[in-house]
Amino acid sequence: MQEREKSSNFAQNTNWFIIISMNAYLSISDEVQHALREGRAVVALESTIISHGMPYPQNVSTALSVEQAVRDAGAVPATIAIIGGKMKAGCSKEEIEYLGKQGQQVTKASRRDLPVLLARGMDGATTVTTTMMIASMAGIRVFATGGIGGVHRGAETTMDISADLEELAQTPVMVVCAGAKSILDLGLTLEYLETKGVPVIGYGTDELPAFYTRHSGFRVDYRIDSPAELASVYKAQRAAGLKGGMLVTNPIPEEYSMPEDVINAAIDKALQEAAEKGIHGKQTTPFLLAKVKELTGGDSLAANIQLVLNNARLAAEAAVEMAE
């Protein structure tokens, strides 16, 4: 029985290696390749948070700290980005430094941007959507981020809905986050995910976290209290042949959670200014996050860093359980 299992695992790993070798645009670091071929835990990390989410040098130091948090929990980090027209699964420290220094000069790359960036040999910072895509191509099953995009406030007239939700509906990756960003319409975001059949799980909570705060007033589909059960549920989803990914919402630690009235007042003011300036599309989220940071005196940035670290640790623990 054990020999058959070993033979099956070898065949799966061989097939995986053949598939990724045929993708001329996919580049997997040696460390990540070795971990995947040996069946060890790997956690994908996005790069938009580096180039568009925080100022330099905090963006670089945070990215490296998040990678270290993944290592400390027993997994291998794979920061994902587009570098020189290659989809990179596993960036070097030098590449992370480069993305941090370039900042918003690097294209914020969603699904629609990939063909042009790859063909032109350009750089791109991957959103939740493109990080999920590249992680799945590389064979990585778990991804840690800050917060997902969702249905924007006023979407009934603007139709501004993040591609993250569509990707969750079709790409088989577990996404660990601190909920949807609180600048969004959280109720409509949950409704959209329900329509798409995406399980929304609260880690240690029955309530959807709202990024900077632990509470939103909206209930999640299921509560799970251990990384082992997260791994079990994900494995059941895959074994049953069910389409799509899974959203795990992990509340920001209590000591870093911001008062709801403070953050909501800042968000309302930021939204008003965005409307007055005609900001829309992919520029909306970076503008709102920067404005909220300004209005809260930098408290939102400190909270952002802590929630990403918290999510990275949980994602690594779940990935280790999957590997076992």
**Residues making up the chain, counted from first to last:** 324
Residue 86 neighbours by CB under 8 Å, 6+ apart = 25, 26, 27, 118
Inter-residue contact 231 to 318 (CB < 8 Å): yes
Q: Using only C-alpha atoms, what is the Rg of the chain?
A: 19
The position carrying tokens 């999510």 is: 311
- Residue 218's identity, in one-letter code, is F
Residue whose C-alpha is closest to residue 187's, from 215, 224, 162, 219:
219
- Is residue 282 among the annotated active site residues? no
Which residue is catalytic, options 46, 97, 317, 321?
A: 46
- Is residue 181 among the annotated active site residues? yes
Which residue is catalytic, options 88, 181, 291, 293?
A: 181
Distance of alpha carbon 161 from alpha carbon 173, whole angstroms: 20
Distance of alpha carbon 272 from alpha carbon 282, whole angstroms: 17
How far separated are the first and last CA of the chain, in Å rounded?
18
Taking the C-alpha atoms of 236, 242, 248 and 249 in order, what is their torsion angle to the nearest 10 degrees?
Answer: -140
Q: Packing angle between helix 260-277 and helix 299-323, nearest 10 degrees?
A: 100
DSSP for 43-86? EEE-SHIIIIIS-TTHHHHHHHHHHHHHHHTT-EEEEEEEETTE
Inter-residue contact 291 to 265 (CB < 8 Å): no
Residue whose C-alpha is closest to residue 225's, from 233, 217, 216:
233
Residues with catalytic function: 46, 181
